[in-house]
Amino acid sequence: MIPFLSAVKIALGSIRSAKLRSTLTVLGIVIGVAAVIANVSLGASFNQHFTNEVNNLGSNFIYIQGMQQKLFYDNEMKIVENTPGVSGVSPLKAQTAEVTYMSQTKNIMVSGVGGDYDKVANSKLQKGTFINDNDGYVAVIGYKVANEKFDRNISVRNSINITFKVGENEKVTKTFKVKAIIKNPENTVVQAYDDNVAVLIPIDVMNEVLGEKDYGGVFAMAEDSTKIQETSDEVDKRLARNFGISERDFEDKDSRPYMLINQAQILKQTGMMAAALSSFLTTVALISLLVGSIGIMNIMLVSVTERTREIGVLKSLGFTGFDILFLFMIESILLGVFGGVLGSTVGIAGAYSVETLLKLPVVFPLGLIAVGFFVAVVVGFISGVYPARKAAKMKPVDSLRHE
């Protein structure tokens, strides 16, 4: 049997002697491997992005929204708060109101919240401190409200006027001092409620101005991230019982006068979206790799035909059929190796560029480069089997007679 290093030298010499042919062969593998690595990386990056977006909505959150007015009061708040597994709770009541700053008025969503809302909803502050249960006429404003809605930016300690609609025709205007500004979460994909474009005030103050006592919804936080769904189900059972929903009607989601969603449900949905996207991208990439493998096989078949006399000379010098097979397989595998190295480099660079451009998390799953390289070698090996066997079966006399 021909020594391995000698086989590699001969294969490299053959590759160098047909540079254009070898380059075109490697190019097919480069494109295929680069596409696989880039698309798998992008799929993982989108999955991480969706997960981050959901986490920005809140910490292990469970959100209950009333489907009709005057549904949630202190009693319902207590039911949620006293449910096992719930570690935090805040009421949430929203109304579009007229917000005036420096003689400029905009229609903005104003929400009444409790003192734990920042923890439950995972709101990060750029400046100031969040509302507490003893606060009066203070406001926490979203980043876009502070920096984009008005001609002049709003800062902490500035005052804003909020005009509420009370009843059908009456309006009430109150002055609020800005206590904090919410940090821009850059949450652009998944949004249950966007604090970025809202004004938050104490829920008690809002109800006092409106002359009401109810809450529009409840934001709760599960203490254990692995038991969000279990805690959410228990909250659902207790609220359903409170509203007189029988066990027979409990399975019917439309029987409830409220809507309940939680972080686990949204993560599951976004995970399915990311998996579907990743599968699609990977399938497209594998098609590219298949095309590349066909290219290697075609080029190797051409190489066998062109080197028929060379094969005859080698056999006449004592090279066996296995030696010929081994030489052509080494050449095919080397082409796969070159394509794998270049393809991995191009794929990583391409994925990094796209992820950076789209402002996505830069994610390269462990083993991704190794897998891409391995696939390229395997493709080279498989693509070279048939041409190598064809070369090995040639008879020396017929090979030497070939023109």
d(CA 180, CA 135): 13
- Angle 312-316-319 from CA coordinates, rounded to 5°: 90
Is-above-0.85 flag for pTM?
Answer: no
Q: Please report, in tens digits, the pLDDT of each residue of the chain (403 residues total).
A: 678 788 788 778 877 877 887 787 788 778 878 887 887 788 788 778 777 776 666 568 899 998 888 899 999 999 999 999 999 899 999 999 999 999 999 999 999 999 989 888 888 899 999 999 889 999 999 999 999 999 999 999 999 999 999 977 899 999 999 999 998 765 444 444 578 889 999 999 999 999 999 998 998 999 887 888 999 999 999 999 999 888 788 888 788 899 998 888 887 887 788 778 777 877 777 777 677 667 767 776 776 666 667 777 777 777 787 887 788 788 878 887 888 888 888 888 888 888 888 888 887 766 766 766 777 777 777 777 776 677 677 666 655 555 5
At residue 398, the pLDDT reads: 57
**Structural domain boundaries in the chain:** 4-53+269-401, 61-223
d(CA 109, CA 193): 10
At residue 1, the pLDDT reads: 66
Whether 238 contacts 101, CB under 8 Å: no
At residue 275, the pLDDT reads: 78
Question: Nearest Cα to 239, choosing from 21, 80, 47, 67?
Answer: 80
d(CA 302, CA 197): 65
- The residue written with tokens 């066998």 in the block is 304
Phi, psi of 245 (to 5 degrees): -85, 125
